[in-house]
A and B are shown apart, each in its own frame.
Chain A
Amino acid sequence: MIETNRLGVSYRGQPALTDLSVTIGGGFTAVIGPSGAGKSTLMRALNGLIPAGSGQVLFQGTPLGRPGSALLRIQQRRMGMVFQGFNLVRRLSALENVLLGRLAATSPWRSLSGWLPHGERELALHLLDRVGLADHAWQRADQLSGGQQQRVGIARALAQQPQVILADEPISALDPKSAAEVMAILHGIQAQDGLAVIANLHSLETVRRYAGRVIALRAGQLVFDDVPQRLTDNVARELYGQDALPGESQEPGGNQELPPNVHFASA
């Protein structure tokens, strides 16, 4: 569905992703890696928010269009993004925020008039109901709790009628209870609606619980790509460095040997 082909992205000459080739199909894919590994950069590159410096990103077999092109906008519409900081337009209501997901399907000049095509509002309300927020539709986004805002964010992404959800640390800013609710919704989207979900996650516990596949980045390179069962504590320790297992106890244990298909970049 989404494929990167020797993708490289750099910020002012500093490489953030190098030579990354990976194909992601359906299911729930977790992207992990230490801070600064390039996880957010990968998400933004997959969506085309930042152009590839070298190599390419393909969505359903077609290379992403150039920045500003109509092709890219059509492709972006099929990829709903969910953000760590929710990124709702704070002064708009929950419902209006969900309707933002319909913009790409509306002609720009008509969207200026504020007039909604038939059924758009119903769709948005239905999606809010789906994330458990039908009662909050007319509340301003900045008056919702973090967990509620993130659920509005998911509803907004779903309003695009996407084929993929790209979630950049969707639960890092949330308390455990809200995080569990958000993960359950993301899981439902994948399991029931058959959308592909790609999520940057920090807690290995969450990764093991929800992901069908784990991709690990370190220093902009792919260093692990396997089922979560192979993501042993040792692998994780190697990935994050000796003293950091995010969100987990640091007791030794698990498999002492690296799985054969793990190849760490020489540090």
Chain B
Amino acid sequence: MIALQDVSKTFRASGRDIVAVAPTTLDIGNGQSFGLIGSSGAGKSTLLRLINRLEEPTGGRVLVDGVDITALGPKDLRHARRLLGMVFQSFNLLANRTVLENVTFPLEIAGQSRTAARRRALECLDHVHLADRADDYPAQLSGGQKQRVAIARAIAPKPSALLCDEPTSALDPQTTESVLDTLLRINRDLGVTLVTVTHSMDVVRKLCDAVAVMENGHVIERIDLRDRPAVATSNLARRLLESAAAPAAPLFRELAHV
């Protein structure tokens, strides 16, 4: 459903070109939970943001459910973005809106009536087990709860996919669990495709059924984690699989030695 075709991104910063993503082709299936890992600066976030065109691609195409995202005008792009929820490391909730109002936000801007938006928002909050906090403000919540509100907000418009950029990196291990559980349920129960950027092997193991490894703007390997045993050819990926067998070790510690 998400097909990247030779998509690339080059930034021009202070006179020199930085190839954040080299021409990349990648297919992410419907209902799949797809991981994106690699060392810092490898281009993971940029690749993720190319999918909903928060970054304009330098070249190539991005197809979402057969629609060429890269060819859309501003209005059609706004509509297409509603099919792609996004979850951020820093939650990015609106501080001056209540929890409920945060979740109604994407529905409001899509033109839904107040009552319909409210009903749907409460449904989504229920799904992340936070319906009782509907009238609180984000500042009154813990980090994990904030992220669950952000997830409720992301699924409110019934997207076909969620793009998650390090959704648990700002959280402690325990709250990470609750957020991963929430994401997993959204993937399993609602059939929402997940694309998750992460540094943590624990997250990959718990959440993903396939993972792409990035290095210097290239996807150097794609591993299907449902294959047993999973096969890795690159050095980096082998280390990942080894650490996946071992107790949870954050990926960046592994990567530091690569």
Do the two chains bind?
no
> Which residues of A are at the interface with B, using a C-beta cutoff of 8 A?
none
> Which residues of B are at the interface with A, using a C-beta cutoff of 8 A?
none
